[in-house]
Amino acid sequence: MTILASSITLGAAETDWRDDALCRETDPELFFPVGTTGNALVQIDNAKEVCGECPSARGCLDFALDTNQDSGIWGGLTEEERRVIRRKRVAAARAARAAVG
């Protein structure tokens, strides 16, 4: 995705979910752990716990996937967990295009 396409997607993304997001009341650093081992694992678990109680988690995750957020915990998922979803979406889109013709 080009920078222009990314900017257009970001600008058109739905952001109403932010109004009720629990992360608004939480230190933002919690959602952006450095690394994937040691203390970062505890931080990831804590961030996911906040997301698990958040009424906006689905909207947050959709935003992260739609705008290709590549770092942090969004909607209760890590970067790698979101990458898996994006890969599946791309594969499904390819299969759909191939089925059409």
Backbone angles phi and psi of 33, in degrees to 5: -65, 150
What residues pair up with 77 in beta bridges, in sequence order? 74
Q: Is 14 helix (H, G, I), strand (E, B) or coil?
A: coil
Reported residue count of the chain is 101
100 falls in which pLDDT band (50, 70, 90)?
confident
Note the pLDDT tens digit of each residue in 6-46. Answer: 555 555 567 899 999 999 999 999 999 999 899 999 999 99
